[in-house]
Amino acid sequence: MSAGATTAGGTDPTLHLPRMLCLHGGGTNARIFRAQCRVLSRALEGRFRLAYAEGPHASAAGPDVATVYAGDGPFKRWLRWLPAHEALGEGAAVRAIDGAVRDAMAADDARGADGPWVALLGFSQGAKLAASLLFRAQRRADRRAADAGQRREEEEDDGVYDAWRFAVILAGRAPLVNLEPALFASSLLSSPSETGLTAPPDLMEMAAGAHVLRLPSIHVHGLADPGLGLHQDLFEQYTDPATARLVQWDGGHRVVLKSTDVQPVVDAIIAVAKETGVL
């Protein structure tokens, strides 16, 4: 159930459920994404509370958004995808993303929710970001393990939540975005200030596999989506086959809506949630 729903008695039954932070695509907004996720949200009722974050940057409406939601702006984005978009420095770009995420989480806390934040769910550009946030959580966990479990001072002070357990990636494209460029460098990750990779990936880095997302992820691909090849690249080149699941459906670039398409996604979410101890 989405955040804010109430029963006939006036109480919200989702307040104590595990929480999933939802990240909209580029050129849309949190309100539109809530509407796009309505069937998926209903199917997860009683198991998860969904909260929706708003991208930090103003944007024109995305091409698929303008046909249905043209009057539902203002529209937002998380990242640059066009050269015309303002180029921020890496630090500023990451801070803007983290600020928007932090604001959404704080707003849901203020509504009285206190369930643990466990998962990310994103569509299109939001899916790329969800996978990238999960990858950062993985890198931080790896670093803490190498430091005998100690959090570094820079992590203590940055206010970044990094305890995500898994992510649901709806039509997410390669490559991942490097959200900690000062601490981790890879030619296979794009800069948060760029529209994509700026040079060919280093083959030795590719073989080493440090760019691979090992935390659990569920990837949902529409077989008629024009961007399917890039979605497959993310799944095949940036995830571990042991921890990544693929759900395919006969549709284009949109969030699953029919119950027959939604149920396999829900089944995968519940399975991963049980495997990770969330449910």
Q: What is the pLDDT of residue 38?
A: 97
Token pair of 15 as six digits: 């307040």
Which amino acid is located at 101 in the chain?
A: V
Q: What is the pLDDT of residue 6?
A: 58
Is residue 24 within 8 Å of 52, Cβ to Cβ?
yes
All structural domains of the chain with their residue ranges: 37-49+119-275
Between CA 41 and CA 215 the distance in angstroms is: 23
Helices (H) and strands (E) in the chain, counts: 9, 8
Per-residue pLDDT reduced to its tens digit, 201-227: 898 999 999 999 999 999 999 999 999
Residue by residue, what is the 3-state secondary structure of 161-224?
CCCCCEEEEECCCCCCECCCCCCCCCCCCECCCCCCCCCCCCHHHHHHCCCCECCCEEEEEECC
Per-residue pLDDT of the chain (279 residues; tens, 9 = 90+): 566 555 555 689 999 999 999 999 999 999 999 999 999 999 999 999 999 999 999 999 987 888 889 899 999 999 998 888 888 889 999 999 999 999 999 999 999 999 999 999 999 999 999 999 999 999 999 998 988 756 655 555 688 999 999 999 999 999 999 999 888 889 999 999 888 888 888 989 999 999 999 999 999 999 999 999 999 999 999 999 999 999 999 999 999 999 999 999 999 999 999 999 999
**Which positions are annotated as active-site residues?**
124, 225, 253
Is residue 247 within 8 Å of 264, Cβ to Cβ?
yes
Q: What is the pTM of this model?
A: 0.93
Between CA 263 and CA 243 the distance in angstroms is: 20
Domain 37-49+119-275 has CATH 3.30.300: no
Q: What is the pLDDT of residue 55?
A: 98
